Amino acid sequence: MSLSCDTGDLLPLDEALARLWEALPAPAFPELRADRDDPALDLATMDGAALRAAEGSTPRRLTGTLFAGDDPTICPVVPGSAVRIMTGAALPPGADAVVPVEQLTEEGGFLRPLVDPAPGDHIRRRGSQALAGEVILPMGSPVTAVRTGLEAWVGQPYAALRRIRVAVASTGDELTADPRPHQIRDANGPMLAALAHGLGAEVERWPALPDDPLALATALQNPKGIRILITSGGVSMGARDHLPAVLRDLGADVLFHRIRLRPGKPMLAALLGDLLVLGLPGNPGSAYLNARLFLPLALARLAGRRRPDPWRRGRLAAAVSNAGIRPLLQPCRREGDNLHPLPSKGSADLITLAQADACAWIEPGGLAASEETRWISIL
């Protein structure tokens, strides 16, 4: 009987995610106030005619046309007149209603409403959205595209758009492009770079790092503008797993090391100045699933976006056992809300992971067929 190396002091996944989220600095908007009434004038909400409502459906002489952006004082409305007006144009002096074009007839330079207009018809009133000086976005709001637009709307300079720079570096003396039977190719580097690219990061592939403390320290101390460094390997309990010790020697703030998850227990996250190091396990299944959980969260936090929730709910199409004390991420094929488990051979089984499109969360003890559980997309 094999003995488990698991202990009860492993950090739960959700706590590790929360710890990472709280540790990262997040850009946020300052307090935004309306720089003027919004809208700054009464505006037409329909194409039609601006006129005096009190004159009912009597014909009016057409005296001009106003487009969005035109100065409305060039076409005042006087008794017996009307001004053709386009959506978004400012209401001319003297007018108090707009009649849509579908409710107008025109003949001989006169417009006649087919309805009796009422004051305020089809008008967006000055200040109806915000008054000058009003707080329209509280300080510290997360960054969104709409809020960036709102910054410009009130005349505030907005930040230049930059993607977060991510570097990917595998570790291990066993990695080579032309492996002998006792060596392996680096699949983690291309896989993790593709994931980061798909998540919107600006990605650099670094050469594989050797199992050497000095080489690791040199790379960590020269990030060259990189904001997140993703490594794979070198974080477990082996004699050549140097990354945790090197980070501590450099004074890094190790947020966590070793989490309650299978696969992926050796996962490490640390802050070295402004550099976030995500130290992933070396086996490809562990590396990818840990990156799929932690990298989107880190990118969202550093970009000032809301915290992402990767989890969905579904039902297992077949029972899955889990004899360990760690929750298991089980590769599955998904059909709607049904999760069909695949026969994975462990964290080194990249073939099964590549055939899957989701991983189901299996609590210790396992789950029966038709039981509901959460799952994460791995596409």
Give yes or no for a contact between 175 and 208, defined as CB atoms under 8 angstroms apart.
yes
When pLDDT is averaged across residues 111-130 and rounded to a whole number, the result is: 96
Read off the amino acid at residue 302. Answer: L
Per the DSSP assignment, residues forming a β-bridge with 279 are: 231, 268
Give yes or no for a contact between 229 and 223, defined as CB atoms under 8 angstroms apart.
yes
Per the DSSP assignment, residues forming a β-bridge with 135 are: 33
What distance in Å separates the CA atoms of residue 344 and residue 133, rounded to the nearest whole number? 60
What distance in Å separates the CA atoms of residue 171 and residue 188, rounded to the nearest whole number? 10
pTM for this one? 0.80
Domain 11-27+163-303 has CATH 3.40.980.10: yes
For the segment 169-201, what is each residue's pLDDT rounded down to a tens digit? Answer: 988 767 667 677 877 677 888 899 999 999 999
- Return the higher-pLDDT residue of 272 and 157: 272
For the segment 4-28, what is each residue's pLDDT rounded down to a tens digit? Answer: 556 568 999 999 999 999 999 988 8
Per the DSSP assignment, residues forming a β-bridge with 97 are: 51
For the segment(s) 312-377, the CATH number from 3.40.462.10, 2.40.340.10, 2.30.110.10, 3.40.1280.10 is 2.40.340.10
Answer whether residue 1 shows pLDDT above 50. Answer: no
CATH topology classification for 43-124: Molybdopterin biosynthesis moeA protein; domain 3 (2.170.190)
What distance in Å separates the CA atoms of residue 109 and residue 63, rounded to the nearest whole number? 9
Q: What is the pLDDT of residue 233?
A: 83
Answer whether residue 367 shows pLDDT above 50. Answer: yes
Give residue limits of the domains in the chain: 11-27+163-303, 32-37+129-153, 43-124, 312-377
